[in-house]
Amino acid sequence: MKAPPRIADAARKRITDAIAQIRHSVSAIESGRPGDAEYENSRKVQVLQARTGVSLDEAARVVARPDEGAERIWGKTVDFVDVAFFERGRRAARAVARIVTKDGAPLGTGFLISPRLMMTNNHVIGSEAEAAALVAEFEYERDVGGRMLAPTTYEFEPTSCFVTNSQDDLDYTVVALGRRISGATELAALGYLPVSAARNKHQLGDFVNIIQHPDGRPKEAVIRENQLVARSGTTLDYIADTEPGSSGSPVLNVQFALVALHHWGTPHRELTDENGKTIPKTVNEGIRASSISSDLTTLRTSLQSGPRSLIDEALQLGLSSDAPAASAQTAGEASARVQSTPMVAHVHDGVATWNIPLSVSIRLGDAPSAQMVSAAASAPGTGAAEARVELDPDYSDRDGYDPEFLPGAEVPLPKLSRDLAKLAAKNLRVGRNEDPYELKYHHYSVIMNGARKLAFVSAVNIDGATSKDYDRSTGKITDPMMGIDGDDASEASELWFPEHRIRDDEQTPRDFYEGQTTFDAQGNQILDKRTSGHRNRMFQKGHLTRRQDPLWGDDESIIKFANADTFHVTNCSPQVGFFNMGIFKQGTNAEMRAASEKQAVHPGGNLYWRALEEFVLTNARAERERVSVFTGAVFDDENDIPWDRGRQEMRGFKAPRQFWKLLLRVENNELQATALVADQSPLIDYVPEALLRGEAVSKPLPYDKIKKYHFSVAELQKITGLAFGATVMKADTFGAGGRSASGRREVRRIEDVAILRPPQTKKRRK
């Protein structure tokens, strides 16, 4: 089936935008150095290690000195492959089918991703009704003698499972197969091509293989005459020959592992770059397997138990499969293993994507139907932005919070008391000699209060010298714009992930905040377009470590993954309305930048909870300095707000009234530690009966009533139970300006917060 115009137009634009990548890759390929096409060294290392079995250190050495080790690892020419290549290809081909109408008209290609589920494009099968009118025809192919085999046909069973995404840069459908209509081959004998989110499956310059039914013909393959030339947030571009009918074909690497779902291959001779040069007409586009895996992980929690179990099985196979294409025997064995293995090890019911339809003055919609979940329906208005949140599936490479990050100062993670340690969630995959409670992410770490399902602390390192901004709508990484573009209005992105290193009952489930009546934060008036999609629910999912904070460094892949890491549910806490970002102010970028520089206020409002941290981050970027930030909730079991919303699994859950931050930086060659506490009690107590019903109020909340405090570190230690250590205690700025060395004081303006310790003078010897 030919891709519809909207998909073709979008693909053309993406390919045009990627012209620099394409030309660089083609140049590297034509010069006989295809490995030079890939620009992410970390990806090169992981791909090399996965394909050769050498250690990561050895792979890194080869990547760093390709002329010294490449031949030993890869052989003298890319034309040499292991003879197992043919067997892997044969196994992979068995899982591929022709999709036809019940009267035999061909529409496209599909392939099994598990013993029961088939994947194809949304533009091939776009609805349950369409699926019910089609069949999957396996073994429509010739044998070694050129004779046609007798095909085996299965009907689709969309009532058992149907998940689709119509976005032009995702464009996939997963649907269950039902009874066999004709032929003799059992599904278990066909194998499957697992959908994995691993990033060690491809690099630019790689050969890919496409198994397809072009124009409805018997099964064919495009083998090793096609190479990857560009990569975007959700798509791969490759030079290959495909025809109509190839839509829905698997794009496979040299080991026949799935790297993409082919969805567009129309010739585009008319495309030229900015210099008028024609883009190679054979560039085709596929949807990255990792993007589909992430999207399925997002959508599965909206399904009922039956469809969800089938999706979970497919996701589990993608996580655990060692072989790119399972044989008939291994397919059955793997299926049995999945069914007998608790899903909590990898994929949880709490997996997370809080895709909540936000509408003014209406109740949020119920979960989508069990058989069909569309990303467009789940998150209206988010469009392709959500697809840019790309999660790194390999948690072993997370560096976490670095206690030696600040120059000349060592600041370890806060220590738990013996009583708090009893409440903490244990990392089920902790390494030897590692903190058993620390969950490491890219550039930040979290310690969870498993009893309260919220974080004790989220600790982040921020490097102002290499800080970056990441646009989730385009996937582009740019130099920072001083934090004045209202980017934190995207806090309600709704795309969140579970933490599979701790138990499900030690974290909040994805749909816990759904079903709250909403209204505009400024009454009924729609705000500036940058925040018009962010409504004032009673409790929003507020980031603890901010999305921008860990986005730094020179490795663009790490920046993208660090962005996604902040969307783990462990980094989320219930915060009322715009409590965590202030009230949006109208104004131009220049006006807001001037206000930020002169008054040190966050453009989103003058609530210092955000303003001081933004002020510190802005200066860190401007001065190319380093900053560390600890953030958490103040747990007060006696006074916090019961908010289990009638859910059995959340019985006893309470929303914290207070949140704290500890800002750490080095200035005047000395560590400076500033402790802040914000109390959202005035907003909670404003309409407690509405809060407990999960509703909003009929008029704007009085944000100016939020209580804001500058705390001493000693006082913060007292109310949290955490031990910050003697180094931080000594660096406390609370005593500056003649204030007492311990306690708290309410503040109304950012200028009231002391952010520098008084100069230390040496005592004279008598």
Take residue 763 and report the two structure tokens written for it: 């005592």
Q: Is 171 a catalytic residue?
A: yes
Residue count of the chain, please give it. 766
> Which residue out of 247, 249, 291, 628 is catalytically annotated?
247
Reduced to 3 states, what is the DSSP secondary structure of residue 462?
strand
Burial label, 524 (beta-carbon count in 10 A; 0-12, 13-18, 19+):
exposed
The amino acid present at 149, given as its one-letter code, is L
For residue 576, give the H/E element and its range: strand 572-576
Closest CA to 662 of 602, 709, 597: 709
Task: Out of 123, 213, 346, 710, pick the active-site residue.
Answer: 123
Would you list the DSSP string of 242-308? --TT-TTPEEE-TT--EEEEEEE----TT-B-TTSPBPPTTEEEEEEHHHHHHHHHHHGGGS-HHHH
Q: Collapsing DSSP states into helix, strand and coil, what is residue 568?
A: strand
Residue-by-residue DSSP string for 107-149: EEEEEESSSSEEEE-TTTS-SHHHHHTEEEEE--SB-TTSPBP
Instruction: Write out the two tokens for 22.
Output: 């394409």
How many Cβ atoms sit within 10 Å of the Cβ of residue 347? 23
* DSSP-assigned beta bridge partners for residue 580: none
CA 510 – CA 371 distance, rounded (Å): 19
CB count in 10 Å sphere of residue 408: 9
For residue 135, report the phi and psi dihedrals to the nearest 5 degrees. Answer: -135, 160
Please say whether the dihedral angle defined by the alpha carbons of residues 176, 182, 186 and 190, taken in this order, is positive or negative. negative
Residues 693 and 573: beta-carbon distance below 8 Å: no
Q: What is the DSSP letter of 218?
A: S
Whose tokens are 């590297």? That residue is: 28
Residues 480/482/483/487 CA torsion (nearest 10 deg): -50
Q: How far apart are CA 52 and CA 587, in angstroms?
A: 56
What is the β-pairing status of strands 162-165 and 258-264? Answer: unpaired
Q: What is the spatial distance between Cα 665 and Cα 236, in angstroms, rounded to a whole number? A: 41
The residue from 168, 169, 171, 469 that is catalytic is: 171
For 87, other C-beta atoms within 10 Å of its C-beta total 13
Residue 34 region by backbone torsions, left for phi larger than 0, else alpha for psi between -120 and 50, else beta:
alpha
Cβ 401 vs Cβ 461: under 8 Å: yes
SS3 684: helix
State yes or no: is 704 an active-site residue: no
The kind and range of the H/E element at 235 are: strand 235-239
Indicate if 143 belongs to the active site. Answer: no
DSSP codes, 373-437: -BHHHHSTTTGGGGGG----S-GGG-----TT-STT---PPPBPPHHHHHHBPP-TTPPTTS-TT
Enumerate the active-site residues. Answer: 123, 171, 247
